[in-house]
Amino acid sequence: MSKADFESSVPLTAMPRASDVDMDLTHGERIEVKIADARPPANQPKKITIPAIIIIPIWMACSITVILYNKYVFSNLNFPFPTFLTTWHLAFSAVATRVLQRTTTLVDGAKDIEMSRERWIRSILPIGALFSGSLILSNYAYLSLSVSFIQMLKAFNPVAILLISFAFKIQEPNSRLLAIVVMISTGCALAAYGEVHFEMFGFLCQCAAIAFEASRLVMIQLLLHGLKMDPIVSLHYYAPVCAVINAVIIPFTEGLEPFYALHRVGLLVLVTNAGMAFALNVAAVFLISVGSGLILTLAGVAKDILLISGSVIAFGSKITALQVFGYSISLGGLIMFKTTGGK
């Protein structure tokens, strides 16, 4: 795969993710819309489109709600079982995508993918394992770190992707990219240094989650190059794999404790929490199809700023002037990365 191919196919998820349970744009790859004829065939259902001015606020609201809701479940409801909650979300998504496949056109992209057993074993399984690791590790970070601090650390995602791309010689470093790496890294370092309630365990979990997620995105480009998988189609394939992997991990990490503590959250919270996370992925499908990469990046930046503000109000998270300064530097590097096309 050439350098140009990789640069032109960097997915939106190369940007900081909304959260780790929400599978923000979660977890799908960039969709390419090709219009051959403005009039759809008579035997083909018309695709639903939502104007950008409507879907962007909806996506932002869903993303912010999912993250704050998860933090509320972990902290306020005293349900500190990230692996169980992640498994529940993925199992819910696995069922929901199959329901949508039979009742809507949202999962029609799966029809264009030839999923052989060999491709599943060589591509879906390892990528799903990285996906699972990213979700679990980052959710463990939410147990000890503030939402605002985690969002600041996620600004390092593009740097992790670039470094892995350099290591595998997928992309050649140049002065502009190195400047962006230094800029974002410096901003994240300042944000971490300025954190009032710094917890090493949570910090290491989040760093490992970023490494897993960056590796997953690079592997997608290497192993699934040319396949068009939007967030819903990605969930259709990855959610069952990740749910099974997580279910195998639960006995060794959380045991039976989550089942004994289910009364603290109740069925309504579990269903609405997973439903909101899935709704975010549905919103992401419409979002990616209506805006340019820069508009989506700016929407993500605005959402993160609102999310950080919301975490301060909802959970009393404290942020310092040094963190604001550092995060501003990281956002500047992020926007520079997107406006230059990563070149």
Task: Dump pLDDT digits (tens) for 157-174.
Answer: 888 888 888 888 777 888
Q: Token pair for residue 206?
A: 């989040």
Which of 196, 67, 32 lies closest to 139, judged by CA? 67
* Per-residue pLDDT reduced to its tens digit, 186-227: 988 988 888 877 888 989 999 999 999 889 888 887 777 667
Phi/psi of residue 170, nearest 5 degrees: -80, -35
Alpha helical stretches, state H, 145-174? 147-153, 157-167
Based on the number of CB atoms within 10 Å of its own CB, is 312 exposed (0-12), middle (13-18) or buried (19 or more)?
Answer: middle
pLDDT band at 29 (very low <50, low <70, confident <90, very high): very low
Ranking 7-11, 72-76, 243-247, 323-327 by mean pLDDT, the lowest is 7-11
Contact 307, 151 (CB under 8 A): yes
Q: What is the CA radius of gyration of the chain?
A: 19
The residue with greater pLDDT, 84 or 192, is 84
Report yes or no on whether pTM surpasses 0.75.
yes
The residue with greater pLDDT, 304 or 94, is 94
pLDDT band at 229 (very low <50, low <70, confident <90, very high): confident
Which of 99, 73, 101 lies closest to 88, judged by CA? 73
